[in-house]
């Protein structure tokens, strides 16, 4: 007779995808479980706007499926065409400044949304997790800034 006192829990939806993101790469499985409980799943139809240029940012978006077009100047300037595994809108976790771009669904898509209010709550309830995410966020923003200044992709070797 075989006794099992502890059962391995089934992996949570999206855990592998989240772990692959630089934002969450340093989190343990338990920490990732806590963060994933704060994420909100949303679906958008092709051409539906996720957020508009000039509106206050409230969240960061992680693409699960489909793709999202990021543009400026009323869609005249395409900044990026992002697919699954990408995240964008990350400055909204730190500030409520107006969005510098518009994001709209380039196809039907599913995203995970991490709201600034949830991140702020995380800073009060799970300081270690929030600091890991915050440091990775700072590294990511620094990398994007370097890329924009240099004008080419910079390898993540920080």
Find, among 111, 129, 148, the residue nearest to 25 by Cα.
Answer: 129
Is the pLDDT reported for residue 1 higher than 60? no
Question: What is the arithmetic mean of pLDDT over 136-158?
Answer: 74
The percentage of residues in the chain with a pLDDT greater than 90, rounded to a whole number, is 68
- Decide: 89 and 23 in contact? Cβ < 8 Å: no
Q: Would you state the structure tokens that stand for residue 83, as one six-digit string?
A: 């697919």
End-to-end Cα separation, the chain, in angstroms: 52
The residue ranges of every structural domain in the chain are 15-148
CATH 3.40.50.1000 given to domain 15-148: no
Question: What is the arithmetic mean of pLDDT over 111-137?
Answer: 95
Q: How confident is the model at residue 152 (pLDDT cuts 50, 70, 90)?
A: low
Q: What is the pLDDT of residues 54-97, one digit of tens each?
A: 999 999 999 999 999 999 988 788 999 999 999 999 988 888 88
Given this model, what pLDDT does residue 17 score? 86
């Amino acid at each position: 007779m075989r006794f099992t006192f502890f059962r391995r829990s089934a992996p949570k939806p999206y855990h592998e995808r989240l772990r692959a993101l630089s934002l969450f790469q340093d989190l343990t499985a338990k920490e990732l479980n806590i963060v994933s409980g704060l994420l909100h799943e949303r679906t958008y139809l092709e051409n539906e706007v996720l957020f508009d240029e000039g509106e206050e940012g409230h969240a960061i978006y992680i693409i699960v499926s489909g793709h999202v077009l990021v543009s400026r100047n009323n869609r005249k300037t395409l900044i990026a065409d992002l697919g699954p595994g990408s995240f964008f809108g990350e400055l909204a976790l730190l500030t409520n400044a107006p969005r510098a771009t518009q994001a709209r669904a380039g196809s039907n898509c599913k995203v995970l949304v991490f709201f600034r209010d949830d991140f702020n709550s995380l800073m009060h309830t799970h300081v270690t997790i929030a600091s890991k995410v915050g440091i990775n966020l700072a590294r990511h923003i620094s990398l994007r800034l370097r890329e924009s200044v240099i004008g080419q992709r910079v390898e993540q070797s920080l």
